[in-house]
Amino acid sequence: MKIVFAGTPEFAVPCLRAAARHGEVVAVYTQPDRPAGRGRGLTPSPVKREAITRGIPVLQPENFKTRDSKDALRALEPDVMVVVAYGLILPQSVLDIPVHGCWNVHASLLPRWRGAAPIQRAIEAGDAETGVCLMQMEKGLDTGPVLLSQALAIGEHDTGGQLHDRLAELGAQVLADGLGLLRAGIRPVPRPQPAEGVTYAHKLDKAEARLDFARPAVELANRVRAFNPWPMAEAVIGGERVRVHGAAALPTEHDAAPGTLLAASRDGLDIACADGALRVRVLQREGGKAITAADYLNGRRDLLARA
C-alpha cells in the first residue's frame, strides 16, 4: 500500500508515525518553512522534521492550484492520502487522486466542532467529552462521512495543551485502526454526519485572551483552561496586566463590581465576576515566569492590605 501523508504541526506527528509504521509512506506534504523564533529564521514544521528523520521525501507546495503540483501527487500513485492539520484546503481534483481518496484525522466528535480549533472550543464550551474522527474528506469544511471514531472524556482540570497531547495519540490509534482495515482489504464503512448538532470551532484569536469579568466565573475558568498554552488568558489584577495560567470558578455571592479583587491569599486571588468569582491560582507577570498566587503576593503586599 502506498500512503501519502499531509500534515504540519506537532499534533500530526503521532499520526505520521502510525502511518509510517510499515514503511508505506512514500511522501510527506507539509507547509513551507516559516520564519520563527527571535532570529525569524526559516524553520521546518514538526512533521517535516519527523519525515526527514525517517528518510521520507518531503514536498512543500504553496498550494495545489498548479497542474505541476497535482501531477507530482498523481505520480506517487497513492492508495490513500492521510491529512492531519495540514493547513491547506484541498480541491476536489486533489481529493480524487488517491485510490481510496483522502482521509482526515479530526480532533472532535463530528459534526460538533468542525473547523480550526476543536480542542480549545470544546473546553471553552464546558463539554464533558470530545474525541477523534477518521473522516473521508470531501469539498466542504469537515463535512465528510466518518469512517471510525473514538470518544475521550475531558477532565475538569484539562488544559488545551493537555487535551491536545491526548487527542494526538488517540488520533494516531484511530488512524492505525483504519489503515489496518484497509491493509486487510476491508474499507471502513463511511457514515454520513447527522444534520443536527453542527457547531464550528473558529480559529483562535489573541484578542479573545483578555478576560471579561462581566461574564460568569465558570465561563472564564473554562477559557483559562482552553487557552493554555496559547493564546493564554490575560487579565488586569491590582492595576497590573498578567497572564493567567490556572484558575477556578467559585460560587461566591457578592455585590461587587466585576473585576473587583474580593480576596487575596496563598490559595489565590478571588476576582468578582457577573456570577461567582474567579480564583486565579497561577499567573505570570510581564517578562517573568508562571508563579503561584502565593509567590505573586510576596511581591504585591499591597493587594493583601486592600483585599
Report whether 45 belongs to an annotated binding site: no
Say how far apart CA 291 and CA 285 lie, in whole Å. 9
Report whether 110 belongs to an annotated binding site: yes
| CB < 8 Å & 24+ apart, contacts of 67-73 | 70/94, 70/97, 73/4, 73/29, 73/97
Report whether 149 belongs to an annotated binding site: no
Say how far apart CA 199 and CA 301 lie, in whole Å. 45
For residue 51 the three cell numbers come to: 519525515
User: Could you tell me which of 105, 110, 122, 116 has the C-alpha nearest to residue 162?
Assistant: 122
Contact call for residues 32 and 71 (beta carbons, < 8 A): no
Report whether 147 belongs to an annotated binding site: no
**Numbered residues of the known binding site for (6S)-5,6,7,8-tetrahydrofolate:** 108-111
**Numbered residues of the known binding site:** 108-111
